[in-house]
Amino acid sequence: MRVFKILALFMAIALLLISSPDFISAQDEDAEYDDAAYEALLEKGKEYYNARCEACHGADGDGKGFVDIIRVSEKNGRVLEIYPRDFTVGVYKFRSTATGCLPDDKDLMGTVKRGITKSLMPPQDNISSEETEAVVEYVKSFSERYEEEDPCDQISVADPPVWVASEKSIEKGKKIYKDMKCWECHGDLGKGDGPKSNDITDDWGKRLLPFNFVTGELKRGSTAENVYMTFTAGLDGTGMPSYQDTLNEEDRWHLVSYTLKLMGLTESDKKTASH
Amino acid sequence: MKKLVFLALVLSLFIVDTSDARKKKKKYEVIDVTNGGSITGTIKAASKVDDPVMKIETKKPDEVEFCGTEFQSNMYIISPDLGVKNVVVALLKVKQGKAMPEKDYVINNLKCQFEPLVGLAFKGNNFVIKNSDALFHNTNLGIQLKGGKKRAVYNLALPNLNQVLKKKIKTKGVHSIKCDAHPWMRAYVYSSDSPYAALTDDSGKFEITDIPAGTYKVLIWHEGFGEVKQEITVEAGQATTLDHTFSK
């Protein structure tokens, strides 16, 4: 009789758990369904990757594809040596998350669609949003980091204040550029030729030259917001550090003003250019 | 009725099964360790190794004076009887044991060097990163992965004198630290996810205490000699000896 009571109790608990929605969502059947959908997505991603990415990034995602090094000459004669990214370590430069964090999926999807034209990684103009998601999932699957960590919150960027690129703001930004020692790497005039510019290696042990502002072309895309995000979040895996804890919001935009000036992208620059 | 009883049994098994299937990684669990064992030992070098002198090269005139032109690397600090200093000895994948130390880990940028060169940090505490120089430093800290690869954990600019930043210690393992503005600067920190980690002293000795009895994997790591892993069995209330000799 007692045995029966205990069993009845068990049964009651089991039924209760089964009928609670939480439990149902954790059921194996559901998980299998998710797994199957994920596998299908990966399969699709792999197909796209093998057709469009493998030549540079390699079949195993270790950056050892057929194209193992890319050389880009700048106008002033400087030659950049750029290596297709090794995805196995799970480190990304173009993030909207704090230094040391995984990027947001949107960051990766943006990079894939836009390409990194300065590094000769081609844009994917006709990629569908499903293909983008699939190829990004596939790229992520090369690194075990994604099993251990979740991406951090995104750093939000407001619209640039109206005074960005004004004379006054450029003047303030010039001082910040000096005080923050951007010039030590990027040079007094932003030509990427500061006293430290020849000493920098990336996390893969390869020499890496600081950005030359005079070219006006960021790897990430030349917008005010992208400059802001570059020095706020830092470019992980490179020598370019994060100033998130060092600069306040207002100073960040003044600094952006000055860099726009260096890049010849302010309104007055554009006017003189068209004259 | 029998059928129902059977159903209940099957269902209860099913419940146990699904919770297992969720594969949640087990976190370190703090328990009362009574009559724990300990590991003591000495890490030695097979023979004396010369400690290299490293060069400082910089294109900034003010740094030549402030940072100097060379320094003793302190990579091989070896006592007369061949004990090796600054070796990390750490138990790996420990599931439970005594409480984690509550202690922040200070990384100081001092006279164009990191201080300390090698140290132990415990997950969940903070890195306290300090610039004591009137120079630009950045602290670029990453986990050392297999095959000589590195994964960035923090790359922080410290342009101001006496600037201090606090950052959570969230990753485990051997981390290397560099400053991109001063390529000769280097340091290592072992971040442990259990309290069972030690650093050898001037004579190469270490001690790890209050360990629950059991068999563990141990990591023995040194900047110059590299790393070895081995198994060790700790018995309740007993001191187990772990000696190791590195050769180059």
Is residue A33 situated within a structural domain?
no
Q: Which of A8, A10, A236 sits opposite B155 (nearest CB)?
A: A236
Per-residue tokens: B46: 């097979």
pLDDT tens per residue, range A229-238? 999 999 999 9
Q: What is the pLDDT along chain B (248 residues), one digit of tens a residue?
A: 555 555 544 444 444 433 333 344 678 999 999 999 999 999 999 999 999 999 999 989 889 999 999 999 999 999 999 999 999 999 999 999 999 999 999 999 999 999 999 999 999 999 999 999 999 999 999 999 988 899 999 999 999 999 999 999 999 999 999 999 999 999 999 999 999 999 999 999 999 999 999 999 999 999 999 999 999 999 999 999 999 999 98
Which residues in B lie closer than 8 A to residue A11 (C-beta atoms)?
A: 4-5, 7-8, 11
Q: Are residues A57 and A125 in the same domain?
A: yes
Q: Give how many domains chain A has, as a whole number.
A: 2
What are the DSSP E strand ranges found in chain A? Answer: 70-73, 79-82
Is residue A13 situated within a structural domain?
no
Residue B175: how many CA atoms within 13 Å on its side-chain side?
28
pLDDT tier at A104, thresholds 50, 70, 90: very high
Q: How many CB atoms lie within 10 A of CB A243?
A: 24
CB contact A31 to B (< 8 Å) = yes
Q: What is the pTM of this model?
A: 0.88
The CATH class, in words, for B29-100+194-246 is: mainly beta
Per-residue tokens: A178: 């000096």
pLDDT in the model for residue A151: 80
Cβ contact, residue pair A26, B22, below 8 Å: yes
Average pLDDT over residues A248-269: 94
What is the sign of the dihedral through the CA atoms of B57, B58, B59 and B60? negative
Q: Are residues A71 and A101 in the same domain?
A: yes
pLDDT tens per residue, range A36-94? 999 999 999 999 999 999 999 999 999 999 998 999 998 888 999 999 999 999 999 99
pLDDT in the model for residue A268: 79
Q: Which of A184, A238, A245 sits opposite B156 (nearest CB)?
A: A245
pLDDT in the model for residue A28: 47
Partner B, chain A 138-157, Cβ-Cβ below 8 Å? 145
Q: Are residues A254 and A171 in the same domain?
A: yes
**pLDDT over 90 at A23, yes or no:** no
* CATH code for position A220: 1.10.760.10
Q: Which chain A residue's Cα is nearest to B59? A: A195
Is residue A226 situated within a structural domain?
yes
Q: Are B112 and B90 in contact (CB under 8 A)?
A: no
Cα B207 to its chain centre, rounded Å, is 15
Q: Are residues A110 and A185 in the same domain?
A: no
The residues with which A185 forms a beta bridge, in sequence order, are none
Partner B, chain A 76-95, Cβ-Cβ below 8 Å? 86, 88-91
pLDDT tens per residue, range A147-206? 888 889 999 999 999 999 999 999 999 999 999 999 999 999 999 999 999 999 999 999
**pLDDT over 70 at A133, yes or no:** yes
pLDDT in the model for residue B148: 86
pLDDT in the model for residue B3: 56
Per-residue tokens: A95: 């993030």
Phi, psi at A5, each rounded to 5°: -60, -45
User: What residue numbers bound the domain in which A179 lies?
Assistant: 167-274
Q: How far apart are CA B143 and CA B150, in angstroms?
A: 6
Q: Has the ipTM of the complex gone over 0.90?
A: no
pLDDT tier at A21, thresholds 50, 70, 90: very low
The CA-atom distances, in angstroms, between A196 and each of A199, A214, B57, B136 are 5, 18, 10, 11
- The CA-CA-CA angle for residues B16, B22, B25, to 5°, reads 115
CB contact B181 to A (< 8 Å) = yes
CB contact A245 to B (< 8 Å) = yes
Is residue A130 situated within a structural domain?
yes
CB contact B16 to A (< 8 Å) = no
Q: Are residues A174 and A245 in the same domain?
A: yes
Q: Are residues A222 and A127 in the same domain?
A: no
Is residue A135 situated within a structural domain?
yes
Q: Are residues A269 and A230 in the same domain?
A: yes
Which residues in A lie closer than 8 A to residue B175 (C-beta atoms)?
A: none
pLDDT in the model for residue A13: 47
Is residue A255 situated within a structural domain?
yes
Cβ contact, residue pair B155, A242, below 8 Å: yes
Is residue A17 situated within a structural domain?
no
Phi, psi at A12, each rounded to 5°: -60, -45
Per-residue tokens: A223: 């917008």
Cβ contact, residue pair B149, A204, below 8 Å: yes
Domain chopping of chain B, boundaries: 29-100+194-246
Q: Are B109 and B177 in contact (CB under 8 A)?
A: no
